[in-house]
């Protein structure tokens, strides 16, 4: 277990320290600045409860945020990020501290100014990342309770994407891109089939999850079996859904800059036809 020596206290919750190799780190934890003085060593039990920023760029970005954020809000954010660690039992990507602190600070300021940004990806996020959404809901509840504010449900969706990024070590920009792709697909499907899909319905949940797993297979370059007989049958029996599936596959190829195999269009046709029958 590492030990740290305090170099400088930034505020009640953040300090700069030196690790055993004399590298500078930022330590984050409720009350650590209050309880520790310069040149003091931090014991091992305390270290387990702290977040450590080692990346120099993340350290600088985090320090730049601190003057804009008051102690109660910072404490709430630190505790909220602790909820991710406790619930997921994962080592979190340290970029979460800058990204999520910045996001929540911005959200709270918007709320105080009476501005609310609508989350157009909320329904899809709920289905795509149910575990992360559950954690994000707990975080927003905690922040709302401790700051006596009312961050809306849309913020749960935004924060869930940050949670997914922290747990999986995936770039937030990629997660956003693929979430937007799913939302775009649902809009195209509704428009082409002239239907309005119930966002609470099982067909919607199945379709969104199928699209998610398709995206994941494409990212990994995984190939699934191509059922040729089924392909020709679907093309003949359900031309509208078959053509729509191919349209979506082409958009997926353009967005992801990766090949999408024919079998994906076949399985997507099955889901689209099931959806179409439900709403006929």
pLDDT of residue 1: 57
Mean predicted confidence (pLDDT) in 108-119:
89
Count CB atoms within 10 A of the CB of residue 132: 27
Which of 27, 54, 81 is where one domain is finished? 54
In a domain, 227, yes or no: yes
Q: How many domains does the chain have?
A: 3
Q: What proportion of the chain, given as a percentage, has pLDDT over 90? A: 70
Q: What angle do CA 72, 76, 79 make, to 5 degrees?
A: 140
- Per-residue confidence (pLDDT) for residue 3, from 0 to 100: 82
Backbone angles phi, psi at 46, to 5 degrees: -70, -35
Average pLDDT, the chain: 91
Tell me the per-residue pLDDT of 154-201, one tens digit each, with 9 for 90 and over. Answer: 999 999 999 999 999 999 999 999 999 999 999 999 999 999 999 988
Q: Is the pLDDT of residue 115 over 80?
A: yes
Lowest mean pLDDT among 39-48, 54-63, 99-108: 39-48
- Residue 104 in domain: yes
- The total number of residues shown for the chain amounts to 280
Say if residue 72 is in the same domain as residue 43.
no
Of the three residues 14, 35, 54, the one that is the final residue of a domain is 54
**Do residue 143 and residue 203 come from a single domain?**
no
Q: What backbone phi and psi angles, to 5 degrees, belong to 127?
A: -80, -40
Q: How far is Cα 267 from Cα 245, in angstroms, rounded to an integer?
A: 9
Q: What is the CATH number of the domain that holds 226?
A: 1.10.1790.10
Q: Write the CA distances from 279 to 8, 191, 195, 198, 237, integer angstroms.
A: 63, 13, 7, 10, 18
pLDDT for the residue numbered 89 = 84
For residues 155 and 124, state if they share a domain: yes
DSSP annotation of 58 reads H
pTM equals 0.88
Give the pLDDT confidence of 54-85 residue by residue, as tens digits.
Answer: 999 999 999 999 999 999 999 999 999 999 99
With respect to residue 175, please indicate whether it lies within any of the assigned structural domains: no
The answer to the question of residue 244 being in a domain is yes
Is residue 146 located within the same domain as residue 184?
no
* Residue 24 forms part of a structural domain: yes
- On whether residue 40 sits in a domain, the answer given is yes
Confidence check: pLDDT of 44 > 70:
no
Give me the mean pLDDT over the 210-215 stretch.
Answer: 94
Whether residues 143 and 206 share a domain: the answer is no
User: Does a structural domain hold residue 70?
Assistant: yes
Answer yes or no: is pLDDT of 43 > 80.
no
Q: Do residues 199 and 242 both lie within one domain?
A: yes
Query: Dihedral (C-alpha) 42, 48, 49, 54: value to the nearest 10 degrees?
Result: 80
If phi over 0 gives left and psi between -120 and 50 gives alpha, with beta otherwise, what is residue 26? beta
Is residue 265 pLDDT above 80, yes or no? Answer: yes
Domain that holds residue 10: 1-54
Q: Are residues 70 and 133 in the same domain?
A: yes
pLDDT-based confidence at residue 229 (cuts at 50, 70, 90): confident
The pLDDT, as a whole number, for residue 36 is 76
For residue 232, what pLDDT is reported? 85
Supply the DSSP string of 141-185, one letter for each residue: HHHHHHHT----HHHHHHHHHHHHHHHHT--HHHHHHHHHHHHHH
Helix (H, G, I), strand (E, B) or coil at 69: coil
Q: Whose CA is closest to 5, among 14, 13, 15, 97? A: 15
* 78-115 b/e (C-beta count within 10 Å ≥ 16 → b): bbbbbbbbebbeeebbbbbbbbbbbbbbebbeebeeee
């Amino acid at each position: 277990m590492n030990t740290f020596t305090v170099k400088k206290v930034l505020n009640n919750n953040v300090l700069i320290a030196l690790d055993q190799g004399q590298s500078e780190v930022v330590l984050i934890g409720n009350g650590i600045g209050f309880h520790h003085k310069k040149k003091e060593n931090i014991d091992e039990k305390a270290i387990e409860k702290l977040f450590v920023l080692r990346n120099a760029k993340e350290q600088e970005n985090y320090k730049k945020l601190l003057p804009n954020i008051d102690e109660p809000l910072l404490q709430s954010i630190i505790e909220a990020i602790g909820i991710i660690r406790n619930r997921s039992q994962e080592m979190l990507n340290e970029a979460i501290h800058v990204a999520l602190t910045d996001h929540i600070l911005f959200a709270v300021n918007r709320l105080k100014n009476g501005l609310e940004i609508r989350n157009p990806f909320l329904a899809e996020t709920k289905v795509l990342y149910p575990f992360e959404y559950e954690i994000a809901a707990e975080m927003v509840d905690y922040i709302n309770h401790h700051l006596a504010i009312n961050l809306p449900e849309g913020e749960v969706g935004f924060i869930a994407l940050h949670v997914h990024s922290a747990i999986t070590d995936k770039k937030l920009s990629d997660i956003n891109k693929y979430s937007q792709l799913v939302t775009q697909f649902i809009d195209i499907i509704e428009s082409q089939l002239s239907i309005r899909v119930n966002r609470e319905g099982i067909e919607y949940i199945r379709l969104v999850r199928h699209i998610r797993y398709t995206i994941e297979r494409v990212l990994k370059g995984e190939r699934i079996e191509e059922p040729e007989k089924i392909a020709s049958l679907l093309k003949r029996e359900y031309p509208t859904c078959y053509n729509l599936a191919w349209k979506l596959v082409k958009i997926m190829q353009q967005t992801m800059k990766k090949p999408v195999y024919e079998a994906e269009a076949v399985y997507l046709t099955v889901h689209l036809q099931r959806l179409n029958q439900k709403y006929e």
